[in-house]
Structure 1
């Protein structure tokens, strides 16, 4: 077994999206190879309605899949195909934009006025860029929850983990998407596919992730899974950790425990031509998508 090295570790940065939603972006709109097949990851979290009520009015997508995971509040959505729905706390939506879709996402808070959710963009390979759009809306009650003897809790949203399979399927990146809570002081190791791109996003508490190739000056943990490995300083709220190749990650939870998303997917390794919510393979395909938007042919009637 080999612990994955930490390639980068950074805090999500504040930004404004949609019609005026305040959120934090962990990555996106920079190097599309860094997290391949994932393109963008946003943490939209508000304590008052003015942070999020403006929402994300009608906008297009083509060539990608979007994954929305709601922790608090609700997100009402509608699209150009006539689909409508509402995501509540614990619910997940995986939308395959494919050849093109127009949709809107409008968040509302809970009784205390709070809203919290995540959105991840996954690229589609060239062979599926123009596939028919589709949705998978998953209720939180249908997501398997695994509780280990030490109190670790894992919600298996996508992929197979500890004998459970997530309810979202048929995704091009063959991903694994886990919501993991590790109790205070507990050290835990999780297996991941050796060659899948993997990142962790801490959003509650703090934890120290083992690093097989940490630079000098970081704290050294003597015994982790029987070998000497480097441990970085505690990673706290809104920290994204990008891992290199290996088949496991180890985290030591801090005094308040740690909760994080662990996401992995098979790299596509294709050229990326990207403009806003449209991601194609070539500049010509991107220009065609923009022309389709202008002349009203963005939505394919055969779909």
Structure 2
């Protein structure tokens, strides 16, 4: 199987979003605006309540999906179509904004560590006006594959014939949380799918490319990727089928044309979004 290599590496940029939540924007910044079908990747990581306590009050979305993966902490989701749930350690929320949704994500803790990721996944034109939907997956329902070099949490897609709990989506996503304690770990990725590895603890290597905490490695096309711990590390591996359609984004709206963006803004302003 053809090995994927590292095409480039990107460092996240400190920023704020929501009501002042401090985070690191890794994908969706000048150095890496998008990686079709992925539009944004943020990491939040702080044990200072002032950095996250005000959360993300009600705000709109249209035309894509949001994925929130919580490593540590507790956050409540509530939206305009009646969904509500609390995500905590190891849990995952996958929300389809589709034709429109207004949601909020608010911390359910006043102290302690809050750490995790939010990933934005684009939708093809045929699904941008689909009905909004929501999957709430507790950490206890995320399957874990243990092997001689570490551990793989299968959030979406499959690894070692173990299927993740996320239902099928248009981009055929793969989302793994891998821990490597020495040795090598090979992960098959569908040929033609865009893929990246984000190291968030320790240090890893892919071929001759070594990267450490806070670095995203964009992978070449091919088959599997083989990671090794240097001496150990933890990362998310994310892959998906490119959509290959125009991307027009205005804040929380991602469509294919300027006209569709203007319509989204108008629908929101006139209360027709969700």
SS at match of 2:211: coil
**How much has 1:34 moved relative to structure 2?**
4.4
Q: How many Å separate the matches in 2 of 1:30 and 1:235?
A: 20
Distance 2:144 2:109 in 1: 25
CA contact (8 A) 1:65 1:123 kept: yes
Name the TM-score, length of structure 2 as normaliser: 0.96
- Structure 1 residue 33, shift from structure 2 partner: 7.6
Match of 1:42 in 2: 42
Question: Would you say the 8 A contact 2:45–2:116 is kept in 1?
Answer: yes
Structure 1 residues 78-135: Cα deviation after superposition (integer angstroms, max 9, x where no partner): 111122111011110000000000000012448x611001000000000000000000
- Structure 1 equivalent of residue 155 of structure 2: 157
**Offset, 1:251:** 1.7
1:191 deviates by 1.6
Partner of 1:207: 204
Q: CA deviation at 1:151?
A: 3.3
What is the TM-score of this pair, normalised by structure 1? 0.87
The CA distance in 2 between the partners of 1:290 and 1:31, in whole Å, is 27
Match of 2:233 among 243, 247, 258: 258
Q: Distance in 2 between matches of 1:31 and 1:205?
A: 23
Match among 248, 272, 288 for residue 247 of structure 2? 272
Across the aligned residues of Structure 1 and Structure 2, the Cα RMSD in angstroms comes to 1.5
Q: Return the alpha-carbon distance in structure 1 between the equivalents of residues 96 and 40 of structure 2.
A: 15
Are 1:108 and 1:115, in contact at CA under 8 Å, matched by a contact in 2?
no
**Superposed displacement of residue 248, structure 1:** 1.5
- The number of residue pairs the alignment matches comes to 274
Matched, 1:289 2:264: yes
Is the Cα contact below 8 Å between 1:29 and 1:39 reproduced in 2? no
The runs of 5 or more residues in structure 2 that have no matched partner are none
Query: Where in structure 2 are the equivalents of 1:56-205 lying within 5 Å?
Result: 56-109=56-109, 113-148=112-147, 150-183=148-181, 185-205=182-202
Counterpart secondary structure, 1:235: strand
Q: Cα offset for 1:74? A: 0.5
Counterpart CA distance in 2 for 1:33 and 1:41 is 10
Q: Following TM superposition, by how much is the alpha carbon of 1:2 offset from its aligned partner in structure 2, in angstroms? A: 1.5
SS at match of 2:212: coil
